[in-house]
Structure 1
Amino acid sequence: LDRGKARNIIKGIVKGCKDAGCALIGGETAELPGMYKGEDYDLAGFCVGVVEKDKIIDGSSVRPGQIIVGIQSSGLHSNGFSLARKVFKKNELKGKIGRTLLTPTIIYVRAIQGLMKKLKIKSMAHITGGGFYDNIPRVLAPKTAASIYKGLWPVPGIFSVIQERARISDKEMYRTFNMGIGMAVVVDRRGARKAHTEIKKCGLKSWIIGEIIKGVKEVII
Protein backbone atom coordinates (compact mmCIF):
# COMPACT_ATOMS: atom_id res chain seq x y z
CA LEU A 1 0.00 0.00 0.00
CA ASP A 2 1.39 3.36 -1.05
CA ARG A 3 0.53 5.49 1.97
CA GLY A 4 1.03 8.77 0.12
CA LYS A 5 -1.34 7.74 -2.66
CA ALA A 6 -3.88 6.40 -0.15
CA ARG A 7 -3.72 9.69 1.77
CA ASN A 8 -4.45 11.69 -1.38
CA ILE A 9 -7.37 9.41 -2.26
CA ILE A 10 -8.89 9.86 1.19
CA LYS A 11 -8.45 13.63 0.91
CA GLY A 12 -10.40 13.55 -2.34
CA ILE A 13 -13.16 11.45 -0.81
CA VAL A 14 -13.39 13.80 2.17
CA LYS A 15 -13.70 16.82 -0.14
CA GLY A 16 -16.43 15.06 -2.11
CA CYS A 17 -18.34 14.29 1.09
CA LYS A 18 -18.07 17.91 2.23
CA ASP A 19 -19.28 19.17 -1.15
CA ALA A 20 -22.24 16.79 -0.97
CA GLY A 21 -22.98 17.39 2.70
CA CYS A 22 -22.77 13.68 3.49
CA ALA A 23 -20.79 11.52 5.94
CA LEU A 24 -18.14 8.91 5.18
CA ILE A 25 -19.37 6.13 7.48
CA GLY A 26 -17.22 3.20 6.45
CA GLY A 27 -14.87 1.62 4.00
CA GLU A 28 -12.36 -1.14 3.38
CA THR A 29 -8.90 -1.29 1.86
CA ALA A 30 -7.97 -4.62 0.30
CA GLU A 31 -4.55 -5.42 -1.13
CA LEU A 32 -4.76 -7.91 -4.01
CA PRO A 33 -1.24 -8.35 -5.42
CA GLY A 34 -2.38 -11.21 -7.63
CA MET A 35 -4.93 -8.97 -9.36
CA TYR A 36 -3.53 -5.43 -9.23
CA LYS A 37 0.10 -4.82 -10.08
CA GLY A 38 2.40 -1.82 -10.06
CA GLU A 39 0.46 1.40 -9.61
CA ASP A 40 -2.93 -0.13 -10.45
CA TYR A 41 -5.79 0.37 -8.01
CA ASP A 42 -9.59 0.37 -8.10
CA LEU A 43 -12.10 2.54 -6.27
CA ALA A 44 -15.80 1.86 -5.69
CA GLY A 45 -18.30 3.79 -3.60
CA PHE A 46 -21.96 4.64 -3.24
CA CYS A 47 -24.32 7.02 -1.45
CA VAL A 48 -27.61 6.30 0.30
CA GLY A 49 -30.17 9.01 0.93
CA VAL A 50 -33.66 9.42 2.37
CA VAL A 51 -36.50 11.61 1.11
CA GLU A 52 -40.06 12.08 2.33
CA LYS A 53 -42.52 10.52 -0.10
CA ASP A 54 -44.43 13.77 -0.62
CA LYS A 55 -41.22 15.61 -1.50
CA ILE A 56 -39.98 13.29 -4.23
CA ILE A 57 -39.26 15.19 -7.45
CA ASP A 58 -40.55 12.71 -10.03
CA GLY A 59 -41.37 14.93 -13.02
CA SER A 60 -45.12 14.43 -12.74
CA SER A 61 -45.70 18.21 -12.58
CA VAL A 62 -43.76 18.94 -15.78
CA ARG A 63 -45.93 20.89 -18.24
CA PRO A 64 -45.46 22.59 -21.64
CA GLY A 65 -44.23 26.16 -21.30
CA GLN A 66 -41.86 25.50 -18.41
CA ILE A 67 -38.18 26.21 -18.99
CA ILE A 68 -35.06 24.08 -18.70
CA VAL A 69 -32.15 25.61 -16.81
CA GLY A 70 -28.77 24.03 -17.49
CA ILE A 71 -25.99 24.15 -14.91
CA GLN A 72 -22.40 24.10 -16.13
CA SER A 73 -20.28 20.96 -16.10
CA SER A 74 -16.55 20.97 -15.45
CA GLY A 75 -15.75 18.71 -18.40
CA LEU A 76 -16.49 15.09 -19.27
CA HIS A 77 -17.74 14.25 -15.76
CA SER A 78 -16.43 10.67 -15.88
CA ASN A 79 -18.46 9.75 -18.98
CA GLY A 80 -17.42 9.14 -22.57
CA PHE A 81 -13.88 8.08 -21.71
CA SER A 82 -13.98 4.98 -23.91
CA LEU A 83 -14.28 7.25 -26.94
CA ALA A 84 -11.90 9.87 -25.54
CA ARG A 85 -9.14 7.29 -25.07
CA LYS A 86 -9.46 6.26 -28.69
CA VAL A 87 -8.96 9.75 -30.11
CA PHE A 88 -6.00 10.90 -28.01
CA LYS A 89 -2.50 9.48 -28.10
CA LYS A 90 -0.83 8.34 -24.87
CA ASN A 91 1.71 11.15 -24.91
CA GLU A 92 -1.11 13.72 -25.23
CA LEU A 93 -2.72 12.44 -22.04
CA LYS A 94 0.33 13.44 -20.03
CA GLY A 95 -0.16 17.14 -20.78
CA LYS A 96 -2.95 19.71 -20.85
CA ILE A 97 -5.45 17.38 -22.50
CA GLY A 98 -4.94 14.77 -19.79
CA ARG A 99 -5.46 17.35 -17.06
CA THR A 100 -8.59 18.62 -18.80
CA LEU A 101 -10.04 15.12 -19.06
CA LEU A 102 -9.37 14.45 -15.38
CA THR A 103 -11.03 17.61 -14.07
CA PRO A 104 -13.16 16.47 -11.10
CA THR A 105 -16.90 16.15 -11.63
CA ILE A 106 -19.00 18.93 -10.10
CA ILE A 107 -21.18 17.86 -7.18
CA TYR A 108 -24.49 19.75 -7.43
CA VAL A 109 -25.99 19.01 -4.02
CA ARG A 110 -25.66 22.49 -2.53
CA ALA A 111 -26.88 24.21 -5.70
CA ILE A 112 -29.96 21.98 -5.89
CA GLN A 113 -30.69 22.36 -2.18
CA GLY A 114 -30.48 26.13 -2.59
CA LEU A 115 -32.94 26.00 -5.49
CA MET A 116 -35.37 23.82 -3.55
CA LYS A 117 -35.52 26.41 -0.76
CA LYS A 118 -36.39 29.25 -3.15
CA LEU A 119 -38.64 27.72 -5.81
CA LYS A 120 -40.39 24.54 -6.86
CA ILE A 121 -38.29 22.27 -9.03
CA LYS A 122 -40.56 20.39 -11.43
CA SER A 123 -37.92 17.94 -12.57
CA MET A 124 -34.15 17.53 -12.85
CA ALA A 125 -31.76 15.31 -14.75
CA HIS A 126 -28.10 14.63 -14.08
CA ILE A 127 -26.49 14.54 -17.54
CA THR A 128 -24.33 11.45 -17.17
CA GLY A 129 -23.81 8.46 -19.47
CA GLY A 130 -26.30 8.68 -22.33
CA GLY A 131 -26.08 12.46 -22.53
CA PHE A 132 -29.18 14.55 -23.18
CA TYR A 133 -31.11 11.94 -25.16
CA ASP A 134 -31.12 9.23 -22.47
CA ASN A 135 -31.23 11.20 -19.23
CA ILE A 136 -33.77 13.98 -19.75
CA PRO A 137 -36.67 11.79 -21.02
CA ARG A 138 -36.58 9.81 -17.76
CA VAL A 139 -37.77 12.84 -15.80
CA LEU A 140 -40.52 14.09 -18.13
CA ALA A 141 -44.24 13.73 -17.58
CA PRO A 142 -46.32 11.81 -20.15
CA LYS A 143 -47.25 13.83 -23.25
CA THR A 144 -44.33 16.23 -22.79
CA ALA A 145 -40.96 16.59 -24.49
CA ALA A 146 -37.84 18.70 -24.02
CA SER A 147 -36.79 21.11 -26.73
CA ILE A 148 -33.10 22.01 -26.32
CA TYR A 149 -31.64 24.94 -28.24
CA LYS A 150 -27.97 24.68 -29.15
CA GLY A 151 -25.97 27.89 -28.96
CA LEU A 152 -27.50 29.16 -25.72
CA TRP A 153 -24.48 28.10 -23.66
CA PRO A 154 -20.74 27.77 -24.35
CA VAL A 155 -19.64 24.21 -25.14
CA PRO A 156 -16.15 23.54 -23.71
CA GLY A 157 -13.46 23.15 -26.36
CA ILE A 158 -12.56 19.59 -25.35
CA PHE A 159 -15.84 18.36 -26.85
CA SER A 160 -15.11 20.02 -30.20
CA VAL A 161 -11.69 18.38 -30.28
CA ILE A 162 -13.18 14.95 -29.56
CA GLN A 163 -15.90 15.41 -32.20
CA GLU A 164 -13.43 16.53 -34.85
CA ARG A 165 -11.04 13.66 -34.23
CA ALA A 166 -13.73 11.01 -33.88
CA ARG A 167 -15.69 12.38 -36.85
CA ILE A 168 -19.07 11.86 -35.24
CA SER A 169 -22.33 13.79 -35.59
CA ASP A 170 -23.75 16.40 -33.26
CA LYS A 171 -26.52 13.97 -32.32
CA GLU A 172 -24.03 11.32 -31.25
CA MET A 173 -22.10 13.89 -29.22
CA TYR A 174 -25.26 14.88 -27.34
CA ARG A 175 -26.03 11.19 -26.81
CA THR A 176 -22.58 10.47 -25.37
CA PHE A 177 -21.38 13.61 -23.57
CA ASN A 178 -22.83 16.34 -21.36
CA MET A 179 -21.60 19.05 -23.79
CA GLY A 180 -21.00 21.52 -20.97
CA ILE A 181 -24.25 20.95 -19.06
CA GLY A 182 -23.95 18.70 -16.01
CA MET A 183 -27.45 19.16 -14.61
CA ALA A 184 -30.75 20.16 -16.23
CA VAL A 185 -33.50 21.58 -14.02
CA VAL A 186 -37.10 22.25 -15.05
CA VAL A 187 -38.83 25.23 -13.39
CA ASP A 188 -41.67 27.62 -14.13
CA ARG A 189 -40.70 30.38 -16.54
CA ARG A 190 -41.10 33.06 -13.87
CA GLY A 191 -38.53 31.28 -11.70
CA ALA A 192 -35.66 31.64 -14.17
CA ARG A 193 -33.98 34.68 -12.62
CA LYS A 194 -34.25 33.29 -9.10
CA ALA A 195 -32.75 29.99 -10.30
CA HIS A 196 -29.76 31.74 -11.86
CA THR A 197 -29.22 33.76 -8.67
CA GLU A 198 -29.21 30.70 -6.40
CA ILE A 199 -26.92 28.73 -8.68
CA LYS A 200 -24.49 31.64 -8.90
CA LYS A 201 -24.23 31.66 -5.10
CA CYS A 202 -22.57 28.25 -5.38
CA GLY A 203 -20.00 29.59 -7.83
CA LEU A 204 -21.63 27.93 -10.84
CA LYS A 205 -22.90 29.29 -14.14
CA SER A 206 -26.30 28.51 -15.61
CA TRP A 207 -28.30 29.22 -18.73
CA ILE A 208 -31.81 28.70 -20.05
CA ILE A 209 -31.11 25.88 -22.51
CA GLY A 210 -34.60 24.96 -23.63
CA GLU A 211 -38.26 24.53 -22.79
CA ILE A 212 -40.91 21.90 -22.26
CA ILE A 213 -43.25 21.28 -25.19
CA LYS A 214 -45.97 18.77 -26.05
CA GLY A 215 -44.52 15.43 -27.09
CA VAL A 216 -43.82 11.82 -26.18
CA LYS A 217 -41.08 11.94 -23.51
CA GLU A 218 -38.29 12.71 -25.94
CA VAL A 219 -35.53 15.27 -26.43
CA ILE A 220 -35.40 17.45 -29.53
CA ILE A 221 -32.15 19.30 -30.17
Structure 2
Amino acid sequence: GETAEMPSVYEVGKYDVAGYCVGLVEKGSELPKFEQYEEGDLLISLPSTGLHCSGFNAILTALANHEIDLNQPSEFGDVSKSLGHNLAVPSRIYVLEVLQLLRSIKLKQSLTSLPGLIPNVARILPSKYEISLDFGDLKVPEVYGWLAGKLKLSANTLLDNLNCGIGMVLVVPKTFNDWKSIKGAKVLGVIKRKIAACPQKTQIDVKNFEEALEKYASKFGPLGENELLEPNYHDLQGSLIVNSEQRSELHIAQNGRRLTEVPKSFKDPILIMGTDGVGTKIQIAQQTGRNSTVGID
Protein backbone atom coordinates (compact mmCIF):
# COMPACT_ATOMS: atom_id res chain seq x y z
CA GLY A 1 0.00 0.00 0.00
CA GLU A 2 2.93 2.35 0.50
CA THR A 3 3.47 2.56 -3.27
CA ALA A 4 -0.23 2.96 -4.07
CA GLU A 5 -1.46 5.73 -6.33
CA MET A 6 -5.12 6.47 -5.63
CA PRO A 7 -6.01 9.88 -7.07
CA SER A 8 -9.64 8.75 -7.31
CA VAL A 9 -9.66 8.20 -3.53
CA TYR A 10 -7.46 11.03 -2.29
CA GLU A 11 -9.57 14.00 -3.32
CA VAL A 12 -8.51 17.59 -2.64
CA GLY A 13 -8.74 18.32 1.06
CA LYS A 14 -8.66 14.66 2.08
CA TYR A 15 -5.84 12.32 3.05
CA ASP A 16 -5.28 8.85 4.38
CA VAL A 17 -4.16 7.75 7.83
CA ALA A 18 -1.96 4.68 7.40
CA GLY A 19 -0.88 2.10 9.94
CA TYR A 20 2.09 -0.21 9.60
CA CYS A 21 4.25 -2.60 11.57
CA VAL A 22 7.94 -3.51 11.57
CA GLY A 23 9.26 -6.99 12.27
CA LEU A 24 12.66 -8.55 12.84
CA VAL A 25 13.79 -11.87 11.38
CA GLU A 26 17.04 -13.76 11.83
CA LYS A 27 19.09 -13.67 8.64
CA GLY A 28 18.94 -17.09 7.02
CA SER A 29 15.53 -17.97 8.44
CA GLU A 30 13.46 -15.65 6.26
CA LEU A 31 10.95 -17.09 3.83
CA PRO A 32 10.81 -18.43 1.19
CA LYS A 33 13.05 -21.45 1.67
CA PHE A 34 13.49 -22.27 -2.00
CA GLU A 35 16.33 -24.69 -1.29
CA GLN A 36 13.89 -26.87 0.68
CA TYR A 37 11.26 -27.07 -2.06
CA GLU A 38 10.54 -30.61 -3.24
CA GLU A 39 8.24 -32.19 -5.77
CA GLY A 40 4.99 -32.99 -4.00
CA ASP A 41 4.99 -29.93 -1.72
CA LEU A 42 1.50 -28.50 -1.23
CA LEU A 43 0.30 -24.98 -1.99
CA ILE A 44 -2.33 -24.22 0.65
CA SER A 45 -4.92 -21.47 0.14
CA LEU A 46 -6.50 -19.45 2.94
CA PRO A 47 -9.80 -17.81 1.96
CA SER A 48 -10.20 -14.06 1.65
CA THR A 49 -13.23 -12.06 2.73
CA GLY A 50 -13.27 -10.18 -0.57
CA LEU A 51 -11.00 -7.74 -2.38
CA HIS A 52 -8.65 -7.20 0.60
CA CYS A 53 -7.92 -3.57 -0.34
CA SER A 54 -6.30 -4.60 -3.62
CA GLY A 55 -6.89 -2.90 -6.97
CA PHE A 56 -9.36 -0.34 -5.66
CA ASN A 57 -8.14 2.55 -7.79
CA ALA A 58 -8.49 0.49 -10.97
CA ILE A 59 -11.89 -0.83 -9.86
CA LEU A 60 -13.20 2.63 -8.94
CA THR A 61 -12.01 4.00 -12.28
CA ALA A 62 -13.73 1.16 -14.15
CA LEU A 63 -16.95 1.65 -12.16
CA ALA A 64 -16.93 5.37 -12.96
CA ASN A 65 -16.39 4.62 -16.66
CA HIS A 66 -19.45 2.35 -16.55
CA GLU A 67 -21.40 5.02 -14.60
CA ILE A 68 -21.97 2.66 -11.67
CA ASP A 69 -22.74 4.49 -8.41
CA LEU A 70 -21.11 3.18 -5.23
CA ASN A 71 -24.15 4.32 -3.24
CA GLN A 72 -26.57 2.14 -5.16
CA PRO A 73 -27.94 -1.00 -3.47
CA SER A 74 -25.58 -3.95 -3.78
CA GLU A 75 -26.54 -6.81 -6.08
CA PHE A 76 -24.34 -9.31 -4.24
CA GLY A 77 -23.54 -10.17 -0.65
CA ASP A 78 -25.71 -8.31 1.85
CA VAL A 79 -28.18 -6.66 -0.53
CA SER A 80 -29.41 -4.38 2.26
CA LYS A 81 -26.04 -2.61 2.07
CA SER A 82 -24.66 -0.29 -0.60
CA LEU A 83 -22.32 -1.44 -3.35
CA GLY A 84 -19.49 0.58 -1.82
CA HIS A 85 -20.02 -1.08 1.56
CA ASN A 86 -19.83 -4.59 0.11
CA LEU A 87 -16.77 -3.80 -2.01
CA ALA A 88 -14.96 -2.56 1.11
CA VAL A 89 -15.49 -5.60 3.33
CA PRO A 90 -12.59 -5.58 5.85
CA SER A 91 -9.61 -7.77 5.03
CA ARG A 92 -9.10 -11.01 6.90
CA ILE A 93 -5.98 -10.89 9.08
CA TYR A 94 -4.11 -14.21 9.25
CA VAL A 95 -1.48 -13.44 11.89
CA LEU A 96 -2.86 -15.45 14.80
CA GLU A 97 -3.84 -18.37 12.57
CA VAL A 98 -0.50 -18.62 10.79
CA LEU A 99 1.80 -17.67 13.67
CA GLN A 100 2.28 -21.22 14.92
CA LEU A 101 3.00 -22.43 11.40
CA LEU A 102 5.55 -19.66 10.93
CA ARG A 103 7.41 -20.99 13.96
CA SER A 104 7.48 -24.43 12.41
CA ILE A 105 10.54 -25.53 10.47
CA LYS A 106 8.12 -27.20 8.06
CA LEU A 107 6.69 -23.98 6.61
CA LYS A 108 8.59 -23.09 3.44
CA GLN A 109 6.65 -19.99 2.39
CA SER A 110 3.72 -17.75 3.30
CA LEU A 111 2.54 -14.89 1.12
CA THR A 112 -0.55 -12.72 0.76
CA SER A 113 -2.19 -12.79 -2.66
CA LEU A 114 -1.80 -9.07 -3.38
CA PRO A 115 -2.07 -7.46 -5.81
CA GLY A 116 -2.88 -10.54 -7.93
CA LEU A 117 -2.96 -14.29 -7.33
CA ILE A 118 -0.97 -15.47 -10.36
CA PRO A 119 1.90 -12.92 -10.11
CA ASN A 120 2.35 -13.74 -6.44
CA VAL A 121 2.35 -17.50 -6.94
CA ALA A 122 4.94 -16.95 -9.69
CA ARG A 123 7.14 -15.08 -7.20
CA ILE A 124 7.31 -18.06 -4.86
CA LEU A 125 7.72 -20.77 -7.51
CA PRO A 126 11.31 -21.44 -8.63
CA SER A 127 11.74 -21.84 -12.39
CA LYS A 128 12.41 -25.58 -12.17
CA TYR A 129 8.94 -26.24 -10.75
CA GLU A 130 5.38 -25.94 -12.06
CA ILE A 131 1.95 -26.12 -10.49
CA SER A 132 -1.71 -26.48 -11.41
CA LEU A 133 -4.05 -24.34 -9.31
CA ASP A 134 -7.39 -26.11 -8.96
CA PHE A 135 -10.42 -24.08 -7.84
CA GLY A 136 -12.69 -27.12 -7.97
CA ASP A 137 -12.94 -27.38 -4.18
CA LEU A 138 -12.82 -23.63 -3.50
CA LYS A 139 -15.58 -21.03 -3.23
CA VAL A 140 -15.04 -17.91 -5.33
CA PRO A 141 -16.60 -14.89 -3.54
CA GLU A 142 -19.61 -13.49 -5.39
CA VAL A 143 -17.99 -10.05 -5.66
CA TYR A 144 -15.67 -11.40 -8.37
CA GLY A 145 -18.59 -12.68 -10.42
CA TRP A 146 -20.25 -9.28 -10.10
CA LEU A 147 -17.10 -7.44 -11.19
CA ALA A 148 -16.53 -9.79 -14.11
CA GLY A 149 -20.12 -9.53 -15.33
CA LYS A 150 -20.62 -5.80 -14.82
CA LEU A 151 -17.20 -4.66 -16.05
CA LYS A 152 -16.84 -7.35 -18.75
CA LEU A 153 -13.60 -8.69 -17.29
CA SER A 154 -11.91 -11.94 -18.24
CA ALA A 155 -10.92 -14.66 -15.81
CA ASN A 156 -7.25 -13.97 -16.58
CA THR A 157 -7.66 -10.27 -15.74
CA LEU A 158 -9.01 -11.16 -12.30
CA LEU A 159 -6.29 -13.75 -11.69
CA ASP A 160 -3.59 -11.25 -12.64
CA ASN A 161 -4.93 -8.32 -10.61
CA LEU A 162 -7.02 -9.59 -7.67
CA ASN A 163 -6.85 -12.33 -5.04
CA CYS A 164 -9.89 -14.18 -6.48
CA GLY A 165 -10.96 -15.43 -3.07
CA ILE A 166 -7.52 -16.51 -1.84
CA GLY A 167 -6.04 -14.11 0.71
CA MET A 168 -2.86 -16.02 1.53
CA VAL A 169 -0.94 -19.04 0.24
CA LEU A 170 1.38 -21.36 2.15
CA VAL A 171 3.94 -23.88 0.92
CA VAL A 172 4.28 -26.97 3.12
CA PRO A 173 5.52 -30.57 2.75
CA LYS A 174 2.84 -33.07 1.73
CA THR A 175 3.31 -34.90 5.06
CA PHE A 176 2.67 -31.73 7.12
CA ASN A 177 -0.94 -31.48 8.34
CA ASP A 178 -0.96 -28.64 10.90
CA TRP A 179 -2.37 -26.24 8.28
CA LYS A 180 -5.69 -28.08 8.50
CA SER A 181 -6.40 -26.30 11.79
CA ILE A 182 -6.86 -23.00 9.92
CA LYS A 183 -10.49 -22.30 9.06
CA GLY A 184 -11.20 -22.61 5.35
CA ALA A 185 -7.71 -23.78 4.39
CA LYS A 186 -7.66 -25.93 1.25
CA VAL A 187 -5.08 -27.53 -1.01
CA LEU A 188 -4.81 -25.27 -4.06
CA GLY A 189 -2.16 -27.28 -5.90
CA VAL A 190 0.77 -29.68 -5.77
CA ILE A 191 4.23 -28.50 -6.79
CA LYS A 192 5.80 -30.61 -9.53
CA ARG A 193 9.18 -30.56 -11.21
CA LYS A 194 9.05 -29.12 -14.72
CA ILE A 195 9.57 -31.56 -17.57
CA ALA A 196 12.69 -30.53 -19.47
CA ALA A 197 11.24 -31.84 -22.72
CA CYS A 198 8.35 -29.33 -22.52
CA PRO A 199 10.05 -25.93 -22.07
CA GLN A 200 7.09 -24.05 -23.57
CA LYS A 201 4.59 -25.40 -21.06
CA THR A 202 3.02 -22.77 -18.81
CA GLN A 203 4.57 -22.81 -15.33
CA ILE A 204 1.25 -22.02 -13.63
CA ASP A 205 -1.91 -23.65 -14.92
CA VAL A 206 -5.38 -22.82 -13.56
CA LYS A 207 -8.34 -25.20 -13.50
CA ASN A 208 -12.03 -24.64 -12.76
CA PHE A 209 -11.74 -20.90 -12.01
CA GLU A 210 -13.36 -19.59 -15.18
CA GLU A 211 -16.21 -22.07 -14.79
CA ALA A 212 -16.84 -20.95 -11.19
CA LEU A 213 -16.58 -17.30 -12.22
CA GLU A 214 -19.08 -17.69 -15.06
CA LYS A 215 -21.58 -19.25 -12.66
CA TYR A 216 -21.55 -16.16 -10.43
CA ALA A 217 -21.21 -13.66 -13.29
CA SER A 218 -24.05 -15.03 -15.43
CA LYS A 219 -26.80 -13.04 -13.71
CA PHE A 220 -24.82 -9.80 -14.07
CA GLY A 221 -23.49 -10.21 -17.59
CA PRO A 222 -21.07 -12.28 -19.69
CA LEU A 223 -17.32 -12.30 -19.18
CA GLY A 224 -15.38 -9.99 -21.48
CA GLU A 225 -11.86 -8.88 -22.34
CA ASN A 226 -11.65 -5.55 -20.50
CA GLU A 227 -8.64 -4.90 -18.28
CA LEU A 228 -8.12 -3.39 -14.84
CA LEU A 229 -5.40 -0.78 -15.11
CA GLU A 230 -3.42 0.91 -12.34
CA PRO A 231 -1.97 4.14 -13.85
CA ASN A 232 1.83 4.26 -13.68
CA TYR A 233 1.90 1.44 -11.11
CA HIS A 234 4.56 -0.66 -12.84
CA ASP A 235 6.70 2.38 -13.69
CA LEU A 236 6.59 3.47 -10.06
CA GLN A 237 7.46 0.01 -8.78
CA GLY A 238 10.41 -0.19 -11.16
CA SER A 239 11.85 3.12 -10.00
CA LEU A 240 11.52 2.07 -6.38
CA ILE A 241 13.40 -1.18 -7.00
CA VAL A 242 16.24 0.56 -8.82
CA ASN A 243 16.64 3.18 -6.11
CA SER A 244 16.40 0.78 -3.18
CA GLU A 245 19.00 -1.62 -4.58
CA GLN A 246 21.61 1.12 -4.27
CA ARG A 247 21.42 1.04 -0.47
CA SER A 248 24.30 -0.81 1.19
CA GLU A 249 22.15 -2.16 4.03
CA LEU A 250 19.70 -3.75 1.59
CA HIS A 251 19.13 -7.51 1.80
CA ILE A 252 17.10 -9.09 -1.01
CA ALA A 253 15.31 -12.33 -0.14
CA GLN A 254 14.96 -15.15 -2.66
CA ASN A 255 11.48 -14.02 -3.69
CA GLY A 256 12.64 -10.46 -4.36
CA ARG A 257 11.46 -8.97 -1.07
CA ARG A 258 13.71 -6.12 0.01
CA LEU A 259 14.71 -6.15 3.68
CA THR A 260 16.96 -3.82 5.66
CA GLU A 261 19.82 -5.35 7.63
CA VAL A 262 20.34 -4.23 11.22
CA PRO A 263 23.99 -3.08 11.55
CA LYS A 264 26.20 -5.74 13.15
CA SER A 265 27.40 -3.17 15.69
CA PHE A 266 23.90 -3.00 17.20
CA LYS A 267 23.51 -5.23 20.26
CA ASP A 268 19.95 -6.27 21.14
CA PRO A 269 18.37 -3.50 18.99
CA ILE A 270 14.97 -2.05 19.87
CA LEU A 271 12.78 -0.06 17.48
CA ILE A 272 11.56 2.98 19.40
CA MET A 273 9.97 5.11 16.69
CA GLY A 274 8.92 5.09 13.07
CA THR A 275 7.39 7.63 10.71
CA ASP A 276 4.90 7.28 7.91
CA GLY A 277 3.96 10.68 6.54
CA VAL A 278 1.28 9.71 4.05
CA GLY A 279 -0.99 12.65 4.87
CA THR A 280 1.67 15.27 4.10
CA LYS A 281 2.59 13.60 0.82
CA ILE A 282 -1.06 13.50 -0.22
CA GLN A 283 -1.38 17.25 0.32
CA ILE A 284 1.79 17.91 -1.71
CA ALA A 285 0.50 15.66 -4.50
CA GLN A 286 -2.80 17.53 -4.56
CA GLN A 287 -1.09 20.93 -4.72
CA THR A 288 1.30 19.89 -7.50
CA GLY A 289 -1.14 17.71 -9.40
CA ARG A 290 1.33 14.80 -9.31
CA ASN A 291 0.27 11.55 -7.64
CA SER A 292 3.23 9.43 -8.79
CA THR A 293 5.29 10.14 -5.67
CA VAL A 294 2.65 9.16 -3.14
CA GLY A 295 3.96 6.40 -0.89
CA ILE A 296 7.67 6.95 -1.57
CA ASP A 297 9.53 7.39 1.73
Same fold (TM over 0.5): yes
CA contact (8 A) 2:70 2:84 kept: no
Q: How many residues align?
A: 178
Residue 185 of structure 2: which of 202, 206, 214 is its match? 206
The residue that corresponds to 1:108 in the other structure is 94
* Structure 1 residues 12-64: Cα deviation after superposition (integer angstroms, max 9, x where no partner): xxxxxxxxxxxxxxxxxxxxxxx953xx2322343221111232122312222
Q: Which structure 2 residue ranges, 5 or more long, are not aligned?
A: 1-10, 75-80, 207-297
How far apart are the structure 1 equivalents of 2:186 and 2:25?
Answer: 28
* Structure 1 residues 56-107: Cα deviation after superposition (integer angstroms, max 9, x where no partner): 1223122221111100111101112234322332332783322221111122
Assess, with a 3 A threshold, how the Cα gap between structure 1 residues 214 and 45 changes in structure 2: closer, same or farther: same
The residue that corresponds to 1:220 in the other structure is 205
Give the percent of matched residue pairs that are identical in Structure 1 and Structure 2.
27
The amino acid of 2:113's aligned partner reads I
Could you tell me how far 1:172 is from its partner in structure 2?
1.2
CA contact (8 A) 1:71 1:207 kept: yes
The amino acid of 2:28's aligned partner reads D
CA contact (8 A) 1:125 1:185 kept: yes
Post-superposition, which runs of at least 4 consecutive aligned residues in structure 1 deviate over 6 A?
Answer: none
Report 1:1-221 matches (<5 A). 36-37=12-13, 40-60=14-34, 61-85=36-60, 86-87=62-63, 88-92=68-72, 95-117=81-103, 120-129=106-115, 131-191=116-176, 193-197=177-181, 199-200=182-183, 205-215=184-194, 218-221=203-206
Assess, with a 3 A threshold, how the Cα gap between structure 1 residues 124 and 187 changes in structure 2: closer, same or farther: same
CA contact (8 A) 1:144 1:213 kept: yes
Assess, with a 3 A threshold, how the Cα gap between structure 1 residues 47 and 117 changes in structure 2: closer, same or farther: closer
CA contact (8 A) 2:117 2:166 kept: no
The normalised TM-score by structure 1 is: 0.72
CA contact (8 A) 2:70 2:83 kept: no
How far apart are the structure 1 equivalents of 2:156 and 2:39?
Answer: 23
Q: Which structure 1 residue ranges, 5 or more long, are not aligned?
A: 1-34
Assess, with a 3 A threshold, how the Cα gap between structure 1 residues 119 and 196 changes in structure 2: closer, same or farther: farther
The amino acid of 2:40's aligned partner reads G
CA contact (8 A) 1:93 1:99 kept: no
How far apart are the structure 2 equivalents of 1:66 and 1:121?
Answer: 10
How far apart are the structure 2 equivalents of 1:56 and 1:106?
Answer: 23
The residue that corresponds to 2:261 in the other structure is none
How far apart are the structure 2 equivalents of 1:159 and 1:151?
Answer: 16
Root-mean-square deviation (Å): 2.3
The normalised TM-score by structure 2 is: 0.55
The amino acid of 2:140's aligned partner reads V
After TM superposition, the structure 1 stretch with the greater mean CA deviation from structure 2, 56-65 or 70-79, is: 56-65
- Tell me the SS of whatever aligns to 2:23: coil
